């Protein structure tokens, strides 16, 4: 069961030159978000948040003012379109009431909570990303500074795009650039709430989305580490530890090494520690699967949609992005992000089905499928963070199984835990953050399906596939330590089922969930 040493990289000059050319391209510009007083402009491009009213009821506020100034143009347009301001409804009016364009966004009836405000902001952001106007003004009449900042947060998420590798965007070259000005009674107070809080979370989401969207030829384990160092540069109370192949060999991390040994791009284990809480207090730990490309290894996947397997490092990206958000807003908590990074490729040095692997904990398992690599990298990462950091709670996050997509589709991540209190905390955080989870069973019988005649267990086998995977991972958790596993295979990439705050592509699912989880349960 001796682990083979990782092969030395054999990168040629041409691929290196190609990589340099790719990474030199500029990142797509997005609108700068600013805050002003609530006074409505009289021209330009305006987004107006409109509460729902009964049919025929009179409107007040900015709508009424603009309507009066335009001799009833807005009222006539909304009546003709049947627009009453229901949640998620929109009415796009070009060349009306003296404006180049007016977008009416329905806010529904009653007071809008934070989740609804974020979704409204998402619609604003998606509109602003399509608009060629140099400035888009958003009129929000609520007086709370936090609400205006929450609207900006949603807009920042909604306007996200990744055009880094486009050499031209044709007629849309200027779309989505310039300023997005949130006008509200809170004015400068809203700017302070944004700068001191929600802007950091938006940056954490963008960081994770960018990583997940990058093609695998531009982002391997080393590049993931480099991007992380760049993102955390200048952040206070942060340290970054990276284990290379020799360091992992000394620790006996045969499981993580086994996944990466078929690739010329060596694996890494990265630990980001943020110490914003009480000195010496045990941290909250987020451990992410970071497979920068998953071919399936020797148990190779089918070709259909294999391109999407660049997303198989979403767990690591979101765990790291969440701690970036905590550090960016100076959250009063200690937190750790662990990224188990490897590329799973078939080659003459790759791990084979039937191999027996010894992990850092000493436990062994028989490889049934090299495409069950996510749990393989996670177990060494989980062992390490428990030994080094003794976290008060661990949540691992991974695009782990297709079975969870069959069970839950694109509406929920699968939550596996034996801790009822932790389950309730994550379920609540999922609802309030807009990244919901659904608790799945962890039956004691799942372990029987993983029994091996020659090792401590197998890395797969039996159904349900998501449940046995969670059981396998749980074998490396210390007795009594609060732990949960999130299978996000159906939530990490949205294609044709976008949300207002999540355009098509990488979602960075987990950043908002973890930020909310920490806010509600661990901040002092």
Q: What is the pLDDT of residues 365-394, one digit of tens each?
A: 999 999 999 999 999 999 999 999 999 999
CA proximity to 414, closest of 351, 362, 471: 471
Confidence band of 170 (pLDDT split at 50, 70, 90): low
Sheet of 90-96, strands arranged across: 32-36, 179-183, 135-139, 45-51, 99-108, 90-96
What element of type H or E holds 312? none
pLDDT tens-digit map of 82-132: 999 999 999 999 999 999 999 999 999 988 899 999 999 999 999 999 999
Q: Is residue 524 pLDDT above 70, yes or no?
A: no
Q: Is 461 left (phi over 0), alpha (psi -120 to 50) or beta?
A: left
| Catalytic center residues | 301, 375
Q: What is the rounded average pLDDT for all residues in the chain?
A: 92
pLDDT tens-digit map of 405-414: 999 999 999 9
Domains of the chain: 32-196 (3.40.220.10), 214-521 (3.40.630.10)
Confidence band of 21 (pLDDT split at 50, 70, 90): very low
Q: Is residue 503 pLDDT above 50, yes or no?
A: yes
User: What's residue 169's pLDDT?
Assistant: 60
pLDDT tens-digit map of 250-306: 999 999 999 999 999 999 999 999 999 999 999 999 999 999 999 999 999 999 889
Ranges 17-21, 83-87, 159-163, 286-290: which has the least confidence: 17-21
Q: Could you give the CA distance from residue 180 to residue 389 in angstroms, rounded to a whole number? A: 42
Q: Is residue 20 pLDDT above 80, yes or no?
A: no
Q: Is residue 145 pLDDT above 90, yes or no?
A: no
Contact (CB, 8 A) for 290 and 336: no
Q: Rounded mean pLDDT of 424-447? A: 96
Mark the binding-site residues for Mn(2+), compressed into ranges.
289, 294, 312, 371, 373
Is the torsion defined by CA of 509, 494, 156, 125 positive or negative?
A: negative
Q: Is residue 28 pLDDT above 80, yes or no?
A: no
Q: Quote the percentage of the chain above a pLDDT of 70.
A: 93
Q: What is the pTM of this model?
A: 0.93
Look up residue 212 and give its DSSP letter: H
Q: Is 459 left (phi over 0), alpha (psi -120 to 50) or beta?
A: alpha
Q: Could you give the CA distance from residue 501 to residue 492 in angstroms, rounded to a whole number? A: 14
Q: Exposed, middle or buried, 40 (CB in 10 Å: 0-12/13-18/19+)?
A: middle
DSSP for 10-28, please give it: ---HHHHHHHHHHHTSPPP
- If DSSP codes are grouped into helix, strand and coil, which group holds residue 325? helix
pLDDT tens-digit map of 179-233: 999 999 998 899 999 999 999 999 999 999 999 999 999 999 999 999 999 999 9
User: What's residue 172's pLDDT?
Assistant: 61
Mark the binding-site residues, compressed into ranges.
289, 294, 312, 371, 373
User: What's residue 3's pLDDT?
Assistant: 47
Contact (CB, 8 A) for 193 and 182: no
DSSP for 409-478, please give it: TTT-EEEE-S-HHHHHHHHHHHHHHT--EEE----GGGGGGG--SSSSEES--SS-HHHHHHHHHHTTSP
Reading the block at residue 511, the tokens are 């950043």
Q: Could you give the CA distance from residue 430 to residue 142 in angstroms, rounded to a whole number? A: 25
């Amino acid at each position: 069961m001796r682990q083979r040493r990782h092969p030395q990289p054999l990168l040629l000059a041409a691929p290196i030159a190609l990589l340099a050319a790719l990474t030199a391209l500029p990142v797509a510009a997005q609108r700068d978000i600013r805050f002003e007083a609530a006074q409505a402009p009289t021209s330009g491009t305006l987004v107006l948040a409109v509460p729902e009213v009964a049919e025929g009821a009179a409107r007040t506020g900015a709508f009424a003012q603009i309507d009066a100034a335009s001799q009833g143009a807005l009222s006539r347009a909304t009546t003709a379109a049947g627009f009453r301001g229901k949640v998620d409804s929109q009415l796009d009016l070009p060349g009306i009431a003296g404006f180049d364009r007016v977008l009416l966004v329905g806010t529904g009836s009653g007071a809008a909570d934070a989740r609804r405000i974020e979704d409204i902001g998402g619609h604003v952001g998606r509109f602003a990303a399509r608009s060629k106007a140099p400035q888009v003004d958003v009129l929000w009449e609520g007086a709370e500074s936090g609400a205006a900042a929450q609207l900006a947060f949603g807009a920042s998420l909604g306007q996200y795009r990744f055009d880094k590798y486009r050499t031209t965007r044709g007629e849309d070259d200027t779309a989505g650039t310039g300023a997005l000005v949130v006008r509200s009674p809170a004015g400068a107070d809203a700017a302070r709430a944004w700068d001191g809080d929600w802007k950091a979370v938006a940056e954490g989401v963008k960081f994770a989305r960018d990583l997940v969207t990058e093609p695998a030829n531009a982002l391997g384990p080393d590049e993931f580490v480099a991007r992380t160092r760049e993102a955390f540069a200048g952040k206070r109370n942060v340290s970054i530890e990276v284990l290379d192949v020799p360091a992992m060999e000394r620790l006996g991390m045969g499981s993580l090494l086994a996944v990466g040994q078929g690739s010329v791009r060596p694996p890494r284990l990265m630990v980001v520690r943020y110490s914003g809480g009480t000195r010496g207090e045990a941290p909250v730990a987020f451990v992410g699967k970071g497979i920068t490309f998953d071919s399936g290894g020797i148990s190779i996947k089918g070709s259909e949609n294999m391109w999407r397997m660049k997303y198989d490092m979403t767990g690591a990206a979101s765990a790291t992005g969440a701690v970036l958000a905590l550090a960016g807003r100076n959250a009063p908590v200690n937190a750790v992000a662990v990224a188990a990074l490897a590329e799973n490729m078939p080659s003459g040095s790759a791990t084979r089905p039937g191999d027996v692997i010894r992990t850092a904990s000493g436990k062994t398992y028989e490889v049934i499928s090299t495409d069950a690599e996510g749990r393989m990298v996670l177990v060494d990462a989980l062992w390490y963070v428990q030994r080094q950091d003794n976290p008060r709670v661990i949540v691992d996050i991974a695009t782990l199984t297709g079975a969870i997509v069959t069970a839950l589709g694109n509406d929920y991540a699968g939550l596996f835990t034996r801790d009822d209190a932790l389950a309730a905390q994550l379920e609540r955080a999922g609802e309030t953050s807009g990244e919901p989870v659904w608790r799945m069973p962890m039956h004691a019988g799942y372990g029987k399906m993983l029994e091996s005649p020659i090792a401590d267990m197998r890395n797969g086998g039996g159904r349900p596939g998501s449940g046995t995977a969670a059981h396998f991972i749980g074998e490396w958790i210390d007795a009594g330590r609060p732990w949960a596993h999130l299978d996000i295979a159906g939530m990490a990439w949205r294609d044709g089922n976008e949300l207002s705050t999540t355009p098509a592509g990488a979602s960075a699912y987990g950043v908002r969930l973890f930020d909310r989880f920490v806010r509600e349960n661990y901040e002092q």
